[in-house]
Amino acid sequence: MAGSPALVMRLVASAFAVAERAGSIVRKVMHSGDLGIVEKTGASDLQTLADRLVQKSICASLSRRFPKITIIGEEDLPSEAVEEDLIESGQAGDILQKVCPAEYSDIREEELVVWVDPLDGTKEYTEAAVSLNGAAPHTWPPHTALGALRHGTALCLLDHVTVLIGIAYDGKAIAGVINQPFFNYQLGPGESLGRTLWGMLGLGAFGFELKEVPGGRRIITTTRSHSNKLVTDCVQAMEPHEVIKVGGAGNKIIQLVEGKASAYVFASPGCKKWDTCAPEALLHAVGGKLTDMRGRPYRYHADVKHMNSAGVLATLRDHQYYSSRVPESVLQGLPSD
C-alpha cells in the first residue's frame, strides 16, 4: 500500500487497541469486588467505577492522538488529569494494513465524531458482580464447573457487557468497535477472556463469524431491564417464534450478526446515540439495518439530541417485515421527534 494509512483507518486502529484496554479495565474492576456503584437517574440507570475509568481511558487516549476529533462519552465526569496508566497508545496493525474505502480516504479530524459508551449493560454488570463476588469473593474468573453451577444465570449476564466506540462522519455511523470483555468466560484457565469485533462501511466486519438465524425463524431480542407496555406490545405484534430478553445494545447487535436473533426491537425512548453508533456501523457493514421504530435512520452529528426517542429496530435481513408490523398504537405512544 502506497503512503501512510488514511486518518480514519488510524483512528479505527487506535479505537481497537483502546477498546481492548477498556475490556481489561472492566475485568479488573469486577475482580476487585468493589464496583463503586452510583445511581444516575434511578435504580435502572447506574454508573460504576468501570464506566468512569473506561471513559477516561478511551477519551484521553483518543484525544491525545487525535486532538481535533469531537468525542462524546456517556458519563458526565469532572474534567481532571487522567492517570498515565489509563492511556493506551497502541494501534491494531491489521487494521492499518486495510485499504480505506475511497469515500473516506480524505476525511479530516475536525469532520469526525466519536460516540463512546464505556460500558454498555451496566445493570447486568452489577447484577453479575453481586452474585459472583457475594458467593465467592475475589475468585475470578469462575472457571470451575462447580463455580459455573453455583452462579448459573448470573454468569450469563457477563456476555451482556460491552464497550462501544462508534465513529461518525457527516452524521453517519461509518465504523464501530465493540469489545466484549467476558467472552469465553465459560472456558477453562489458559483461555483468554474477551474479544473485539469491528466493522466499517465498505470494508465489512471482523472478529466474529457472520451467521443468520436458520429457517427464517423470527427470534426477537429485546431489553431485560427497561421494558414497558409499548415494548411488549410491539414485540408481540411481530408474531415472534421466540423472544430473548438480554441487556446491552452492543450485545443485541452481536446476537443479530451471529445468527442468535433476527430482530432487535425496543419501542421506547432510553437508548442514546452512544448505544447505537458503534453497533449500527458494524451491522450496516454486513448489510443489516438499524432505524427508529418508524424506519427512519438516526444521525450522529456532534450537536444531535442524545436520546433515541423513537426507539430502536435493528435487523440483519427483512427489516421491512418488522417495520411493517409496528402497531399504530405503539407509534402514537412514542415521542414524535
Which of 141, 247, 288, 311 is close enough to bind ligand AMP by CB under 6 A? 247
Residue 122 annotated as catalytic:
yes
User: Which residues are within 8 A (CB) of 265 and not within 5 positions of it... i.e. 6 or more apart?
Assistant: 220, 221, 222, 231, 234, 235, 238, 312, 313, 322
Minimum CB separation of residue 263 from ligand AMP in Å reads 13
Please, which residues bridge with residue 175 across strands? Answer: 167, 200
Of 222, 177, 54, the residue nearest 125 (C-alpha): 54
275 interacts with ligand AMP by CB under 6 A: yes
324 contacts ligand AMP (rule: CB under 6 A): no
Beta carbon nearer to ligand AMP, 20 or 74: 74
Do residues 95 and 12 lie in contact, with contact meaning Cβ atoms separated by under 8 Å? yes
Give the residue, chosen from 1, 39, 44, 106, that forms a contact with ligand AMP under the rule CB under 6 A: 44
The nearer residue to Mg ion, 107 or 124, going by C-beta atoms, is 124
Catalytic residue among 48, 117, 120, 122: 122
Residue 226 interface partner, choices ligand AMP, Mg ion, none, CB cut-off 5-8 Å depending on type: ligand AMP
48 is a contact residue toward ligand AMP (CB under 6 A): no
Name all contacts of 294-303 with Cβ < 8 Å and 24+ positions apart: 294/326, 294/331, 295/319, 295/323, 298/173, 298/273, 299/171, 299/172, 300/113, 300/115, 300/166, 300/168, 300/171, 300/172, 300/173, 300/273, 301/113, 301/168, 301/171, 302/70, 302/72, 302/113
Question: What cell numbers appear for 312 in the block?
Answer: 430502536
Q: Which of 223, 262, 291, 323 binds ligand AMP (CB under 6 A)?
A: 223
Q: Judged by CB, which is closer to Mg ion: 107, or 178?
A: 178
- Show the binding pattern over residues 104-133: x = contacts Mg ion (CB under 5 A), - = does not: -------------x-xx-------------
Site for Mg ion in 53-82 (CB under 5 A): 74
Q: Residue 142 touches which of Mg ion, ligand AMP, none (CB < 5 to 8 A by kind)?
A: none
Q: Which of 126, 192, 196 is nearest to 164 (CA)?
A: 196
Binding site for Mg ion (CB under 5 A): 74, 117, 119-120, 275
Binding site for ligand AMP (CB under 6 A): 44-45, 120-121, 223, 225-226, 247-249, 270-271, 275
